[in-house]
Amino acid sequence: MNSRKIKTWAWVHKWSSLVCTVFMLLLCITGLPLIFHHEIGHLLGTEVEAPKMPAGAPRVSLDRVLDIAKSKHPGRVVQFVSQPEDDDGLWFVTLTPTPQATEDFKSVAIDARTGEVLAQPKFDEGFMYVMFKLHVDLFAGLAGKLFLGFMGLLLLVAIVSGVVLYSPFMRKFDFGTVRREKRPRLKWLDLHNLLGIVTLVWLFVVGSTGMINTWADLLIKYWQHDQLSSLLAPYKNEPIVAVNERASVQRSMDAAMQKTPGMKLSFIAFPGTSFSSPHHTTFFVRGNEPFTSKLFQPVLVDAKTAEVTAVPKLPWYLTALLVSQPLHFGDYGGMPMQIIWALLDIATIIVLGSGLYLWLKRGNPVPASPRAAAHEARVSGGTAQPEPASAMKVQA
């Protein structure tokens, strides 16, 4: 590679890195506790679990569950109902002033066997909520998500340009060389490059999945416009289904589960919400295998008649979104994978911090050979790493 190309790539690497570094550092720091959100929830006492009961214990009707939840918050409507992936003895009911509300919500956790209210968890406060919101949208809604997505794009540019620069920089050195005998800046430059290249694949995967996650709201809206609109054609001249006109939710769920044998319920979106239509109660079911448990299959049930009207396959872009979300946080392999993700996240924080250090110390000359100084000048002044960035979980 000639000197002109090296200079161009160095400029790309430096400025793409500098623009996104502070935000990537924030996302790395907030992403670290999110990797262990279940474990931290247990320590803080915020995780809700259903009491142990014999297998096959009778269950309360879902209609009764909803009545119990609404009695706790009169005047609100049920927006979503969900079950934890590993606990089908528990219902989480989300209630809002209107079906479209996003921020003003109340949650009620109800035992599926007894109908007992176990808790009214506050998911919109506390340490983990702050970490999640900073990580997902900087408390700025869709604009914050799209901004972080752009920072993720700059991060990928920084990674690619860093890889291009690494080869000429290390041509005269053995892989893994860290020159400890020189001044600190040279040592941190070598460490920055070494950690960056060692964690390259993970950094690219986590950075790209984080960027995809920031598009979740837009992808869902596009899916509704692109595919659901054709399914709603028969309802074109019909008014929105009123709450008092809806059929039994238990009967609707039974019909949905009969259409998808061997699958488990994940969550229910009620008419008018962002994951359903004005005329349907939509049931999202998932598989039982580690991979298929992350993929949702929607089942649209007529809210008035409790009849299944469509079981549409998710398009490729929503499948990619659903696959990227657990991969982003290391949710596929249990605790061992979470630990690996955390260690790589810490390595990323070191890379980002060392990049900032190299930039701030760029004016301090390092006494070294002309060849070494030239190599350093070509690649210093940038960072190349990502975050366990925004996971916007499709959740109810």
- Residue among 230, 238, 216 nearest 304 (CA): 238
Q: Are residues 367 and 183 in contact, defined by beta-carbon separation less than 8 angstroms?
A: yes
The CA distances from residue 305 to 6, 195, 251, 252, 302, in Å, are 67, 59, 9, 8, 6
**pLDDT confidence of residue 61:** 96
What residue segments make up the domains of the chain, in order of their start? 3-40+141-214+335-379, 59-126+215-329
Q: Are residues 384 and 13 in contact, defined by beta-carbon separation less than 8 angstroms?
A: yes
Q: Are residues 161 and 384 in contact, defined by beta-carbon separation less than 8 angstroms?
A: yes
Residue 12 scores a pLDDT above 90:
yes
For residue 396, name the pLDDT band (cuts at 50, 70, 90). very low
- Residue among 9, 25, 6, 19 nearest 354 (CA): 25
99-113, 279-293, 371-385: lowest mean pLDDT where? 371-385
For residue 179, name the pLDDT band (cuts at 50, 70, 90). low
For residue 374, name the pLDDT band (cuts at 50, 70, 90). very low
Which tens digit of pLDDT belongs to each residue from 66-84? 999 999 999 999 999 999 8
Q: Return the number of other C-beta atoms located less than 10 Å from residue 314's C-beta.
A: 17
